[in-house]
Structure 1
Amino acid sequence: MRIKLKSILTFILLIIASLLMGYIFGKSEVLTSLGMSDLLLFLLSFPIAFILHLFIHELGHLVFGKISGLDFYSFRIFKWTLIKEDSKIKVKEHRVSGTLGQCIMTIPESSHVSFTFYLLGGILMNFILSILSLLLINQFPVFIFAFFMVGILMILTQGIPHGFNDGMTLKLLGQNQRNKDYLTNQLNSVSLLAEGKTFTDFPATFFDVEIEALNENYLTQFQFFLLISRLFQEEKYEQALGLMNQEWDRKQLLILPYYLNYKKYYLFLATLLREQSERLDMLNQDKQLENYMREKSAENKMIEATKIWIKELNPVSALEKLDEAENLIVIIPYKGERIFMQQMIDSIRNKIFIDVTM
């Protein structure tokens, strides 16, 4: 109920802001002289302005993150991603459900930094360039109106705490030290994965979490999936499924990327362990999960191979699907995750060989 109320309030604020901007610009002598034909130009300008502000927003995180002492790791707009790996910048395709862009920074070794300007950097850059754009209102009235409007809307949608936006992250960091520690863990895990470390190489402190608080917010939820990933690598599948079962009734509290991954990992574990349950049947018929699993990734192909092996009793096709998964490892952004995925694929392949020869 609280989530729905926040969504409604945010929507109302956006409507009020849009009406206010429309009123202000409606009083402008420049805009009142425009004809109806300019409406088409405005509609064309809006998506262009949105893409520009998306780039500006992520650039703001990068600039203010560097000012705060953080190091650059990756910069993503839609699926196109620049990633720093082995001191080189590489271009990769990488999607994250529920996000259109992302700028990930890492914490230098033995450094204590503030996350405030890093998190505020996006909306600060949107605000600065939106205000500066008004200097060109006489030259390009329609586009500048669209650009300014999109900028203000992006500031509101990212600044007002909601979902898992920048404002909400700042709010969570202000609540307690634990949330700050979890965000630090998250950024440090990126550094380790970029170096080629896998989950079993992570410090034990990364997994020292309160199980009852794992679903408290998306910072603690990250810890849950960090723990699940380590259990995967250690092939402690029963223990991983046990944790997943504990969280089943609270899975709706997960943010969208984690919610989708929760269902995907549960499907994988329950299938691999040959579980017979209503939950597994439900996931096998889940259209949202089915669509998510269509995304081209090594992980999805590996899970599909597991289903073909266990459910369809077709080890030959399963091995072919694992070969497809192996060919997709190269697009995984983190070096450590590529190593981890290769280990997972090899493990499933070995299990199939053992099953066939028994």
Structure 2
Amino acid sequence: MIKKLLILVAWALVGVVVGLVLAMTGIAVFTDMTFGEFVRLLVSLNPGEVFAAALSGVAALIVAVPVLALVHETGHLVCGLLSGYRFVSFRIFSFTVIRDHGHLRVKRFAISGTGGQCLLAPPDVPDGRIPTVWYNLGGVLANVAVLLILLPFLWAVSDPFAEVFLTVFLLVDLFFILINGVPMRMGGIANDANNALMLRRDARSLGALAVQLRANALVQEGVRPRDMPLNWFETEGDIDYRNQLQVGVALMKAGRLIDLEQWDDAYWEHEMLYGHKEEIMPLYVREIECELLFLALVTGRMAQARELYGSDSLRSYIGNYRRIMSSKERLLFAVALFMEEDHGKAAGILDQVGSYRNDYLMQGEVKSDLAIMESLLANVKKRHG
């Protein structure tokens, strides 16, 4: 208990320091007050007022992140809809709003390394001609609009605590603008500006984006990968494994083979992708490892399966996403069925996924996973009489 209390106090002190630093930085950026003048102002205050000012900065940070993430994704949504896209889903952190048979529903879903995502289906035009600039830059434009609207209030407010709160809020908004508006990659994931530039000059990536948007929309609406046209996922030439859009299509093609239960073909497709893991962004590498583990189990490559499942980081990844991605439950089902040879445990996982099937975001995926698990369990029972 004492240890937890000390940790809480330590984090509170860190928060106070962060609040002060952000306030000082923001005031230097957005006003004509110097650091020295700000420090002299702090010295003139009593400790209680200094602490209250720091808490204002911390409160602004806590409020700004979710609010500005919402603003950012709303910008993508508005600009996408104005460009002719169709609404599919809107996610802030793990809360996702989807259109389900004409009604809006809230489900849970998350992607590592992202605070939100606005998923739209592209307009009905040739893949190489879908509009992307406004869709990609809509989030940054929304954050810029907030900055321009709130900045005048910084000079209008007279309350020092309100000034600190507004300063930190604007500083966080500026951070959103920079990390999304300056072309860069973070954790292997291209940001909005990077995507906007790449898609203007790379027709293959533009086509890959169109395929992924269409396929993801169909999966959310309940269409299984095996029922999508094969020619969507066939590409000419070598894959640029540092290009997340091209790798994404290759993963969809390999995933379609899993849904078709073409185990050996699916295994070699994933093995080929895994051979380029140093070039592929970490999130996709994790997904490849998961499916490679599943396919190693299904095809009897137990040594490889034990090696992959022996990774603490991979087991942690599976555990973190099993409640929101049915494919992770399918993987644990295969571990129970083939590695642990516990048919009862495998059947329990199958029943659990079936009972929660409507809660999953990717309805086409859960249909596929349930069918695969039922098929595998039936085959094992048949072999064992």
TM-score clears 0.5 = yes
Task: Check if 1:126 corresponds to 2:143.
Answer: yes
Q: Partners in 2 of 1:256 and 1:159 — Cα distance?
A: 22
Greater CA radius of gyration, 1 or 2?
2
Q: Mark the runs of 5 or more structure 2 residues left unpaired by the alignment.
A: 1-21
Residue equivalent to 1:343: 371
2:28 aligned residue (7, 20, 23): 23
2:360 aligned residue (332, 345, 349): 332
Relative distance call for 1:98 and 1:327 in structure 2 (3 A) is farther
Count of residue correspondences: 340
Q: Partners in 1 of 2:115 and 2:134 — Cα distance?
A: 21
Residue equivalent to 2:295: 269
Relative distance call for 1:96 and 1:331 in structure 2 (3 A) is farther
Q: Partners in 1 of 2:55 and 2:379 — Cα distance?
A: 59
Q: Aligned to 1:89, what secondary structure does the other structure show?
A: strand
Bigger mean CA deviation after superposition, 199-208 or 218-227: 199-208
Bigger mean CA deviation after superposition, 195-204 or 286-295: 195-204
Relative distance call for 1:247 and 1:317 in structure 2 (3 A) is same
1:150 aligned residue (172, 182, 191): 172
- CA offsets per residue over residues 282-322 of structure 1, 9 Å max, x none? 31121111111113243222211211111112212221222
CA contact (8 A) 1:326 1:345 kept: no
What letter is aligned with 1:198?
R
Q: State the TM-score, normalized to the length of structure 2.
A: 0.81
| C-alpha deviation, 1:242, in angstroms | 0.8
Relative distance call for 1:190 and 1:313 in structure 2 (3 A) is closer
Q: Mark the runs of 5 or more structure 1 residues left unpaired by the alignment.
A: 1-16
Q: Aligned to 2:193, what secondary structure does the other structure show?
A: helix
Q: Partners in 1 of 2:151 and 2:210 — Cα distance?
A: 38
What letter is aligned with 1:334?
M
Relative distance call for 1:214 and 1:337 in structure 2 (3 A) is farther
Q: Partners in 2 of 1:292 and 1:212 — Cα distance?
A: 30
Residue equivalent to 1:91: 106
CA contact (8 A) 1:68 1:113 kept: no
What letter is aligned with 1:344?
I
Q: Partners in 1 of 2:355 and 2:228 — Cα distance?
A: 26
- CA offsets per residue over residues 228-282 of structure 1, 9 Å max, x none? 11101111111111112222231133223312211111111111111044x4333
| C-alpha deviation, 1:208, in angstroms | 1.3
CA contact (8 A) 1:80 1:94 kept: yes
| C-alpha deviation, 1:352, in angstroms | 2.7
Bigger mean CA deviation after superposition, 72-81 or 305-314: 305-314
Residue equivalent to 1:11: none
Residue equivalent to 1:70: 85
Fraction of identical pairs, as percent: 24
| C-alpha deviation, 1:332, in angstroms | 2.0
| C-alpha deviation, 1:224, in angstroms | 1.4
Bigger mean CA deviation after superposition, 268-277 or 343-352: 343-352
| C-alpha deviation, 1:212, in angstroms | 3.1
